Structure 1
């Protein structure tokens, strides 16, 4: 009965290679939140993140808060887009934008008009950190070009 004895040399049996810890998570397909034209898409990342735990940024114990005691779980359950945005140099600007959108959603205000200033600040910051935010900026540019192409119809002659 010859069974392998992995405990012969503990250093050899416990090899761990942390090679992927330094790379950021891949960015999810971004919604059109920086363009400021469609408020429905700009609310989407926050709606996903606010699935029950997102009241941490906007609500302060209002009636119906289901995420009151789950503030520590917010970071774990946060959407990939939000994690990506907070992983770059514009974390503070994104948090301010996210909070503004959540407040507008809760009060029923128009997101585009209420959050125009913080959206502009976030966009400027992302442009300044284009090396990190390139996937988002490129997707926004492509969506803007597609929308422009879709609105210019050749049948209008």
Structure 2
């Protein structure tokens, strides 16, 4: 087998007897990926460095903590990319900035960002064709919260009624 100058299995080798998309070189198989990478995750013990997977959410969190702007942009969440892909990009960025600032200062996000949140919601309503999946999910979440609150309220009424009945029985008793 010919040598491959890159660990990328898709790298084209110039030797005539080699094939495109060959398996990784024998050298990769001789030492375990955990030794090479200093990590012992199960996916890396399979013997194929192409199986190494990193969670983009964790990468995003790490880049925000450690902080270069390029890394933060690369590891951006799918939701954020979706929100910035529509007509409300500027409103969403303003909302993100407000939330980040409130978190850094330990302020209440709802109170501090009420105005930018309202502007973002209005913009999303105006661009409902694009933001429909988010608006539908928000509406469903609101309905679920309302349902839970009503159930809790009814449960409290039942408990009060039971307490009143018990008190009346005891008074008559």
TM-score, length basis structure 2: 0.53
Partner of 1:152: 150
Partner of 2:37: none
The unaligned stretches of length 5 or more in structure 1 are: 1-46, 55-64
Partner of 2:137: 139
Partner of 2:88: 90
Partners of 1:117 and 1:130 lie apart in 2 by 20
What is the SS of the residue equivalent to 1:152?
helix
Partner of 1:79: 77
The aligned length equals 99
1:51 maps onto 2:49 in alignment: no
- Residue deviations 1:4-59 (CA, integer Å, cap 9, x gap): xxxxxxxxxxxxxxxxxxxxxxxxxxxxxxxxxxxxxxxxxxx97861333xxxxx
- Residue deviations 1:48-98 (CA, integer Å, cap 9, x gap): 7861333xxxxxxxxxx621xx21222210011100100000000000000
What is the SS of the residue equivalent to 1:148?
helix
- 8 Å CA contact retained: 2:86, 2:131: yes
What is the SS of the residue equivalent to 2:107?
coil
What is the SS of the residue equivalent to 1:78?
coil
RMSD across aligned C-alpha pairs, in angstroms?
Answer: 1.9
- Residue deviations 1:86-143 (CA, integer Å, cap 9, x gap): 0000000000000000000000000000000000000000000000000000000000
- 8 Å CA contact retained: 1:93, 1:125: yes
TM-score, length basis structure 1: 0.58
More helix by proportion, 1 or 2?
2
Partner of 2:102: 104
Change over 3 Å in CA distance of 1:49–1:140 after alignment to 2: farther
Partners of 2:99 and 2:145 lie apart in 1 by 23
- 8 Å CA contact retained: 1:86, 1:94: yes
> Where has structure 1 moved over 4 Å in runs of 4 or more?
47-50
Partners of 2:78 and 2:59 lie apart in 1 by 9
